[in-house]
């Protein structure tokens, strides 16, 4: 699929315009009518922008029905058509800050220097919806369609809890417009259930919401647990007149509709730009997808004077976030083996710029996900990279699949020199290399030991570990502490001074606290939070390892699974020998930290268990858990009846969220984690 200007577009604009119109019409139908897009929004926007540029340069080739000039897609014949009393127009896009500033300058010129108030709203990535009430009763719910004619989906919309079926105190006729969306937590929950039952996974929350609304059976829509944000009114007959967009939102909210709390008023474009930049930074803090910020002139009189083009109002624009999904070629699928033997398939990609960096590899999670997504070497695939999240392959563009492409088959044996057999334990999604001597596992165990979340040995990264193991200087983490400056200096890229720095960093790590040593062992299921709880409870590494399972499981935040895993690990003779060697080499086993690595904090969470799931802005998972412990709390890895609060960020586990909801555990958004830490109280909405 061609997303930018193709070769020859400048020399033969007529042919390129025809090609773009054909492709855009097809993608418009896939997106708006079939809810089955093949390409990310960013690819579509690039094609639209190219078409509009070519049409403006060649006005004799412009056409009124060009995809660059139309809104949305045709209404489906599956549902009854609804003619909108007030057309549902599209918005022009600003693809970067410069384009946003240029729009602001046009607005200021059009209003001849008048004072302007702007409204900034999160651009929800959902499905636009028109709700028409007559005498307080919902009579019609319709999709945007082509802007003039939409689809009647009233029966399905009535299953959405956010949308009131009747209103008190409403004007005789009022049309409320907004966005129907699927919360990310619901999306992840539904996909987890689909994975367990072997059903096809939902592609993304936007498509899932649109597909849910177009079900013939409303009970299917009800099970999808959709939500709604109101963002403006359309037709209104009667009632008190309003003079600004903000007043209209207040009226809609007073009638019982949810209005997004992040809507902001700005008195200058400088403030608008600040809001947009902040929104980019915090887009993943929310439980719903946003792909930009909609900026509008607040005063309705000023809007009327500015008017509209044939497709979009001049008084509003959509500032689009940098793309986090792009298409590229899947060159191959390979398998990496981690420290516990977990075999993870990953995609080798033709490099593509997405999510702020160039991506050439992306995770495919496990063999089941490869099968469910049915991605094959040679496919054009959609790649997603959300901020700092590991890039992943979303799925293939089936229309671009090469003829004869064969399904990928998970290898039978590990690629390590031992060629050990891969095994998928019963009831597990992961496939594992079960040979402990596997050199791939050895390397990853050493890398994990030295990582920031464990022993934090500066300079001992992946490349250096590989050099050390290839030189046969390190066979396990115990050998790290017998390295000499002379040995390290022999490695490629090391001078005497850099070798001395590495050995000094290794020496410093001998005095790390006990929980870091426990974490560094890489015992399956044992993470930093449980390690901290165990170290505090038992006082030393050896006391934790030599305790029985029952005693370990009794520690808050540990439980039977982690306790048993530790016992099984320590029962292996090579692991007991490793513990002895580390202790003999001077690695401290009995340093138990005070709060937050020695820093004193008020014990706001004393005796309280706070579970963190998903990404917390500005903190790693380890640092977030440590922040809870520093304030006297515990940070277990699972939700239980004893949990005080669940902190939910981007990529949160659906099972934790579902369990918390069932148990009535308070849920704290990740962007309000600081409030919880500071006060120990659940932040109020």
- Residues with catalytic roles: 123
Cβ 265 vs Cβ 298: under 8 Å: yes
Only one residue has tokens 């029985």, namely: 548
β-bridge partners, 293: 122, 319
Residue the block writes with tokens 């903000």: 246
DSSP 326: E
Mapped onto helix, strand or coil, the DSSP state of residue 273 is helix
The CA distance from 12 to 9, in Å, is: 5
| Sheet of strand 643-648, all strands in order from the earlier edge strand to the far edge | 609-613, 643-648, 667-669
Q: Are 104 and 64 in contact (CB under 8 A)?
A: no
Segment (H or E) for 534: helix 528-538
Q: Cβ distance 472 to 442 under 8 Å?
A: no
Cα-Cα-Cα-Cα dihedral of 442, 448, 450, 456, to 10°? -170
Report the 10 Å Cβ neighbour count for 212.
Answer: 25
3-class secondary structure, 609: strand
- CA-based nearest residue to 322, from 356, 345, 371: 356
Coil vs helix vs strand at 153: coil
d(CA 411, CA 431): 10
From CA 606, how far away is CA 594, in angstroms rounded?
13
206 membership: H or E segment, kind and range: helix 205-213
- 357 touches 346 (CB < 8 A): no
CA pair distance 587, 385, nearest whole angstrom: 39
Contact 526, 519 (CB under 8 A): yes
Chain-centroid distance, C-alpha 480: 37
- In the numeric block, the tokens 């000023």 are attached to 302
**CB contact at 8 A, 384 and 373:** no
């Amino acid at each position: 699929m061609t997303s930018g200007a193709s070769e020859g577009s400048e020399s033969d604009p007529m042919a390129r315009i025809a090609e773009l119109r054909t492709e855009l019409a097809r993608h418009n139908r896939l997106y708006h009518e079939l809810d089955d897009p093949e390409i990310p929004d960013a690819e579509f926007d690039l094609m639209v922008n190219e078409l509009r540029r070519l049409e403006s340069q060649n006005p004799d080739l412009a056409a009124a029905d060009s995809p660059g000039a139309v809104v949305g897609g045709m209404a489906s014949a599956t549902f009854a058509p609804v003619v909108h009393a007030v057309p549902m127009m599209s918005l022009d896009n600003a693809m970067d800050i410069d384009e946003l500033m240029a729009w602001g300058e046009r607005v200021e010129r059009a209003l001849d220097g008048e004072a302007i108030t702007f409204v900034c709203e999160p651009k929800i990535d959902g499905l636009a919806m028109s709700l028409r009430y007559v005498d307080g009763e919902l009579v019609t719910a319709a999709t945007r369609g082509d802007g003039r004619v939409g689809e009647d989906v009233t029966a399905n919309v009535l299953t959405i809890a956010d949308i009131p079926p009747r209103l008190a105190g409403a004007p005789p006729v009022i049309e409320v417009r907004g966005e129907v969306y699927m919360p990310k937590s619901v999306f992840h929950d539904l996909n987890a259930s689909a994975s367990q039952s072997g059903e096809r996974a939902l592609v993304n929350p936007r498509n899932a919401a649109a597909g849910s609304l177009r079900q013939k059976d409303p009970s299917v829509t009800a099970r999808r647990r959709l939500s709604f944000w109101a963002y403006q009114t359309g037709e209104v007959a009667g009632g008190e007149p309003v003079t600004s967009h903000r007043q209209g939102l207040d009226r809609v909210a007073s009638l019982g509709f949810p209005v997004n709390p992040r809507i902001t008023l700005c008195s200058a474009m400088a403030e608008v730009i600040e809001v947009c930049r902040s929104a980019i930074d915090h887009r993943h803090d929310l439980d719903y997808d946003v792909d930009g910020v909609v900026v509008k002139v607040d005063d309705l009189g000023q809007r009327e004077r500015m008017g509209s083009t044939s497709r979009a109002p001049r008084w509003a624009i959509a500032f689009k976030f940098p793309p986090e999904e792009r298409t590229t070629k899947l060159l191959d699928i390979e398998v990496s083996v981690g420290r516990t033997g977990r075999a993870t398939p990953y995609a080798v990609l033709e490099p593509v710029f997405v999510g702020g960096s160039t991506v050439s590899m992306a995770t495919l999670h496990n063999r089941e996900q490869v099968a469910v997504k049915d991605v094959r070497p040679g496919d054009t695939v959609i790649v997603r990279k959300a901020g700092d999240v590991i890039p992943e392959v979303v799925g293939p563009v089936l229309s671009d699949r090469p003829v004869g492409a064969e399904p990928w088959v998970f290898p039978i044996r590990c690629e390590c020199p031992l060629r050990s057999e891969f095994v998928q334990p019963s009831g597990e999604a992961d496939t594992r290399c079960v040979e402990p001597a596997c050199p791939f596992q050895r390397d990853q165990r050493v890398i994990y030991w030295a990582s920031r979340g464990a022993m934090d040995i500066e300079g001992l990264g992946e490349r250096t570990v590989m050099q050390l193991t290839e030189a046969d200087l390190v066979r396990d983490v115990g050998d790290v502490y017998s390295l000499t400056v002379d040995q390290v200096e022999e490695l490629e890229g090391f001078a005497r001074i850099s070798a001395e720095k590495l050995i000094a960093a290794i020496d410093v790590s001998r005095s790390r606290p006990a929980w870091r040593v426990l974490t560094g062992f890489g015992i399956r299921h044992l993470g930093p939070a449980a390690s901290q709880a165990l170290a505090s409870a038992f006082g030393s590494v050896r006391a934790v390892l030599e305790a029985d399972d029952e005693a370990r499981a009794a520690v808050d935040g540990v439980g039977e699974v982690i306790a048993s895993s530790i016992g099984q690990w320590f029962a292996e003779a090579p692991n007991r020998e490793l513990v002895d060697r580390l202790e003999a080499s001077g690695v401290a086993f009995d340093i138990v930290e005070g709060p937050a690595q020695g820093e004193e904090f008020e014990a706001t969470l004393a005796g309280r268990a706070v579970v963190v799931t998903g990404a917390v802005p500005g903190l790693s998972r380890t640092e977030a858990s440590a922040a809870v412990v520093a304030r006297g709390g515990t940070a277990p890895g699972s939700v239980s009846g004893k949990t005080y609060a669940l902190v939910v960020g981007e990529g949160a586990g659906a099972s934790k969220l579902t369990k918390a909801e069932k148990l009535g555990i308070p849920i704290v958004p990740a962007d309000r984690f600081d409030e919880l830490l500071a006060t120990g109280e659940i932040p109020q909405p």
